[in-house]
Amino acid sequence: MATSGYTTAGGIGVERESREVDEAALEEIVTALGERRGGAFSSGMDYPGRYSRWAFGYVDPCLELVAKGRTITATALNERGRVVLPAVASCLLAAGKPLTEPTADRVEVHVPESEDLLPEEMRSRRPTVFTAIREVIAAFKGDDPHLGLYGAFGYDLAFQFEPIRQELVRPDDQRDLVLHLPDRLVVIDRQRETSLEFRYEFTVDGVSTRGLERTGDTLPPAAPHELPKNPEKGEYAKVVAAAKEKFKRGDLFEVVPGQVFHAACTDPSAFYRGLRRSNPAPYEFIISLGEGEHLVGASPEMYVRVTGDRVETCPISGTIARGSNPVEDAEAIRTLLSSVKEESELTMCTDVDRNDKSRICVPGTVKVIGRRQIELYSRLIHTVDHIEGRLRPEFDALDAFLTHMWAVTVTGAPKTWAMQFIEDHEATTRRWYGGAIGFIGFDGSMNTGLTLRTAQIKNGVATVRAGATLLFDSDPEAEERETELKASALLGALAAVGRPDDAVPVAEPREQPGAGLKVLLVDHEDSFVNTLADYFRQEGADVVTLRHGFPVHMLDEVAPDLVVLSPGPGWPTDFGISALLDQVYARDLPVFGVCLGLQAMVEHAGGTLELLDYPEHGKRGQVARLGDSALLDGLPPEFTAARYHSLHAKRPGVVGFTPTALTPDGNVMAIEDVERRRYAVQFHPESILTQEGGAGAKIIANVLRLSRR
């Protein structure tokens, strides 16, 4: 155990004890957060230069700050909090007017609006509830990197700076800010491979917390209420249509309205654990806010991070659904990066973000250090920019936080007009959505994430809000689907609560069309033979691979149900394939040729082969089916396949077979002789480029079915 101490700028004595603990200490905190105040935060993703993995948590903080509108209250949550409260009370009283007589447990003040006109450069210093928070930070200022205020910042805090006409009724239980002062923290740094617990003792006006117990109220979860209705199809599309009229008028450039979904949740801690597993994100969190309210989320987006004088943000805009495998992901990324609309979304977000920083940063230091970088999440792919600036000496982390309020990625541009549109068109107040979670360090640092992909949980009901960035060229139905897709990660994790950690859905037994069949695969010195064999084995077939030139009697010894002619270099004559086909056909064996195999079958039947003007090696090809095809059954009329060939057959040059697929320039891609069970494809079904929709595997399965007598 290590002990250190210091006196803060406000004269508060701080003693810190640190010791190594097992990572299980953090999981104990997560469990406790189901019924006690506190928070746990983690980063489940590594993106070099942006995010690394860490985790920290606390339970039973000694003191709580809560804001509703311009009223801010400090409450001691235990005996230790009563020791600290006088120091915090003086900070609040310096910022506002008391509404009630301060007590040993509570002080409440109102921060009135200023009648003075401040220039925009000083907007973050306007009198608001943050004036009181700034006083608290100043009083506790010190070098400890972990001591600070932890919690959540609500969306409505922006209205203390922006003149938004409020149309929606604010619920009585809505709070705009909840911050905790923890006196015990567990901090896990997975880069340094450390897991430490920090315990703090405070001395205020000669009175110390040492020897006082760390306790807190137990807040049992309420019985679940009836779930509100989820949005009806088409409701969000109407909001998109209204936004397009604003774009046409020039009132808005972009706007990010949301819609709300609901699900049951009686175990926030289990939900948080499940969400971390199913949807890792840079900002994963569970915050027990008291009054039976929890926030659980996995946000992909940094709000504001400050280290020293460096301020960073990572605006996200540009979204596409993930594919079912990395190849489909790559295609989705290609589509995303080539979309002018998606690029415009992020460009506007970044330009607004740069503007926010220019208010408080040293001239010339605001820079885009990462442009349209790809981030992959459980169900979505995003494009992300990374922006930094250097704070001017007269500004601090809180100025950086306030000048970005709120991120354009959750509001739109111009910001005030976009926020007014949201107020006028969303069905309910945003509460925490679109605000921030994280901590403000007493050492001048800050790390906050946007409150996205977040569930607000109260009375057993989880409320999930999801939005989409709208532009004039937005498609209403597509944007509505995007909100549903964004919400689905949380709704899926909520549905899985209570399922054992190792439980996996039991898949229906898959048909094995190759079961009981033996395949002879003839290897023509190709680089893909083993993968081709694996595809047949996946369908249940027994595969024997022989290098070309094997003795003919082995055909009878192997006794295959199907002969597969592999791809290979050169021409069919280089391998004597014609002689082998004579023997195979004489035995009335089914045959399937791939690439060189197709060329050999065409040439053996008396057809002609030609060289392509430009070889197609490892290239993506568009293949169009021609009429009915037993070999290509189950594939769409057009599909993508991998081409690895210089030789080819033209449709008029094919003899004895029916061509059933072509490229746009007329190259034969598939041939069939169903009666004699002879089939071939020019493309490679085993390539990653033929995986879209499972095309390659479907062709192999079809070949095996067609091979049965």
Cα 127 to Cα 138: distance, rounded to the nearest angstrom: 16
How far CA 629 is from CA of 102, 256, 566, 686, in Å, comes to: 84, 47, 21, 19
Residues 6+ apart with CB under 8 A from 416: 162, 163, 164
- Structure tokens belonging to residue 251: 């009132």
- Structure tokens belonging to residue 29: 């905190």
Active site (annotated) includes residue 686: yes
- Structure tokens belonging to residue 75: 């409450």
Taking a C-beta distance cutoff of 8 angstroms, is the pair 307, 318 a contact? no
Q: What is the CA radius of gyration of the chain?
A: 32
Residues 6+ apart with CB under 8 A from 32: 38, 59, 60
Cα 177 to Cα 428: distance, rounded to the nearest angstrom: 18
Do the strands 610-625 and 38-43 form a parallel or antiparallel pair, or are they unpaired? unpaired
Residues 6+ apart with CB under 8 A from 28: none
User: 3-class SS at 113?
Assistant: coil
Which residue is catalytic, options 284, 616, 684, 692? 684
Residue 439's DSSP bridge partners are 150, 447
Per-residue DSSP letters for 630-684? STTTTS-SEEEEEEEEEEE-BGGG--SSEEEEE-TT-BEEEEEETTTTEEEESSB
Amino acid (1-letter code) at residue 124: S
Residue-wise burial string across 608-641, b where 16 or more C-beta atoms lie within 10 A, e elsewhere? ebeeeeeebeeeebebebbeebebbeebeeebbb
Do the strands 542-547 and 518-523 form a parallel or antiparallel pair, or are they unpaired? parallel
Nearest residue to 669 via CA among 632, 633, 614: 632
User: 3-class SS at 529?
Assistant: helix
Q: Residue 348, exposed/middle/buried by CB under 10 A (0-12, 13-18, 19+)?
A: buried
Which residue is catalytic, options 108, 672, 686, 692? 686
Cα 249 to Cα 535: distance, rounded to the nearest angstrom: 57
Active site (annotated) includes residue 595: yes
Which residue is catalytic, options 293, 388, 595, 672? 595
Taking a C-beta distance cutoff of 8 angstroms, is the pair 170, 45 a contact? no
Helix boundaries (H) for 264-325: 268-278
Q: How far is CA 106 from the centre of its chain?
A: 40
Residues 6+ apart with CB under 8 A from 223: 459, 460
Per-residue DSSP letters for 408-441? TTTSEESHHHHHHHHHHH-SS--TTTTSEEEEEE
- Structure tokens belonging to residue 641: 């396949």
Residues 6+ apart with CB under 8 A from 65: 72, 73, 74, 88, 132, 133, 136, 149, 151, 177, 178, 179, 180, 181
- Structure tokens belonging to residue 178: 């909840």
Helix boundaries (H) for 319-380: 326-338, 340-358
Cα 276 to Cα 496: distance, rounded to the nearest angstrom: 12
Which residues are catalytic, by number? 595, 684, 686
